[in-house]
Amino acid sequence: MNNIPMKTRSLKLLEFLSLEKSADRLLALEVPKDALSWTRFCGALLLVLVVLLFLSGIFMAFYYSPIPGTAYDSVDFALFNVPFGSVVKGVHHYSWNLLLMVMGVHLGRSLILGSYKAPRQMVWVTGVIILLFVPLFIITGDLLPWDQKGYWSTQVRLSIISSVPGMGHIAARLLQGGSLTGVVALTRFYVLHILMLPGLLVLLIAVHFHFIRHRGLSEPLGADPVSRPRIPFYPNVVNRWLFLFIMVSIILGVISWHWIPPFGDPADPTDSSYIPKPEWWVLFLNQLVSVFKGGLAVLGSTIIPAGLAGLLICLPFIDRSPHRHPARRWKILLPAAAIVIAILTLSIMGYMEHFVLVEN
């Protein structure tokens, strides 16, 4: 047995598993050399962060107990008594924060360089769906530690969901499993967070990659598509991804070691004086909701966010010109820049209101 060369052994194993044809296809796969360029760093980084979220999440699930009476203590135990528990929880916490930021940069790059244009419309559409989908993880995950911030943030979110005309009230009742946030709500949030949403995210990422593979990566601006050099996907790209995985794990591990992720007091559903501070990524939405009052509230809670999401999804079908150079696309890039500035302004206003003025 030991005399059989390594290569023959792995070939035999692949044949035993009927995977030899898939392995051949992977080995024959080629991608443009610019797939390794640093401007494409964000796509690979997103993949690495998703893997880290899954791995750290599985580890935390070993210790977590989804019942209001024990959830807080189980998280407390994993955080302070399990070896490296705080590092793992930190990696989970910092990964999703970074995921949101990197998704913004990845989207911005595709927007500025026009890589959403034909034939890559569906790469963009699946990307936007992923972007709109990711906050559901945060909304469901926030309640799980059963601390004051998670509990009261959930109350605020449920009341915003309820205010959405039409299905809002039913959606909030369905999420909560009744009129109160208790054991049924926690079980539902848990099942969504660890089972349904991850399953759907894997599916969405697979569809994103399916379109990238079949529609190809956009050419660098000004490059000649005919003489575009190609490299093997395995090992060149796979090795780059593995290297990135190791580096990001080390960096986030060290950060988590030094800055333990936030974990507040246990939830007290009778303490309605607790006012949760909104997360950075939701500041602009919060501000939008508070700008429009009374009969106009629906503008901030539903019409404007839904309109922006619709515009983002439909962008490749609105901007059909063949030009990709930013200088020839100012009719798209100027309004996009105005929207980004509005989002940043609202976020700064929200930050001032909730973090600076409150403390003074």
Nearer to ligand HEM, 14 or 131 (CB): 131
Mark out the alpha helices in 216-270 (DSSP H runs).
238-258
Measured from the CB atom, the residue of 188 and 329 that comes closer to ligand HEM is 329
Computed on alpha carbons and rounded to an integer, the radius of gyration of the chain in Å comes to 23
Nearer to ligand HEM, 127 or 150 (CB): 127
Backbone phi and psi for residue 232, each to the nearest 5 degrees, phi listed first:
-70, 140
Please state the closest distance from residue 46 (CB atom) to ligand HEM, in A.
Answer: 4
* Cβ-contact 288, 304 below 8 angstroms: yes
Closer CB to ligand HEM, residue 66 or residue 316? 316
127 sits near ligand HEM (criterion: CB under 6 A): yes
In angstroms, the first-to-last Cα distance of the chain is: 74
- The interface region with ligand HEM, picked from 87-95, 105-113, 222-230, 290-298 by CB under 6 A, is 105-113
**Rounded distance between C-alpha atoms, residue 219 and residue 215, angstroms:** 12
Should residue 217 be labelled a site residue for ligand HEM when binding is judged by CB under 6 A? yes
Q: Which of residues 46-65 bind ligand HEM (CB under 6 A)?
A: 46-47, 50
At its nearest, how many Å lie between ligand HEM and the CB of residue 314?
A: 12
Q: Is the CB of 5 or the CB of 229 nearer to ligand HEM?
A: 229
The C-alpha angle 349, 42, 22, rounded to 5 degrees, equals 145
CB of residue 342 vs ligand HEM: minimum separation in angstroms? 19
Q: How far is the CB of 190 from ligand HEM (least distance, A)?
A: 22
* Burial class of residue 93 in the structure, from the number of CB atoms within 10 Å of its CB (0-12 exposed, 13-18 middle, 19+ buried): buried
What is residue 147's DSSP assignment? B
Find the binder of ligand HEM among 75, 87, 98, 123 (CB under 6 A): 123
Contact 250, 312 (CB under 8 A): no
Angle at 196 between CA 41 and CA 42, to 5 degrees: 5
User: For tokens 């399953």, what's the residue?
Assistant: 199
Is residue 131 at the binding interface for ligand HEM, with CB under 6 A as the rule?
yes
Task: Report in angstroms how near the CB of residue 24 gets to ligand HEM at its nearest.
Answer: 23
φ/ψ (deg, to 5) at 259 = -120, 95
**What residue ranges bind ligand HEM (CB under 6 A)?**
40, 42-44, 46-47, 50, 103, 106-107, 110, 115-116, 120, 123-124, 127-128, 130-131, 205, 208, 212, 217-218
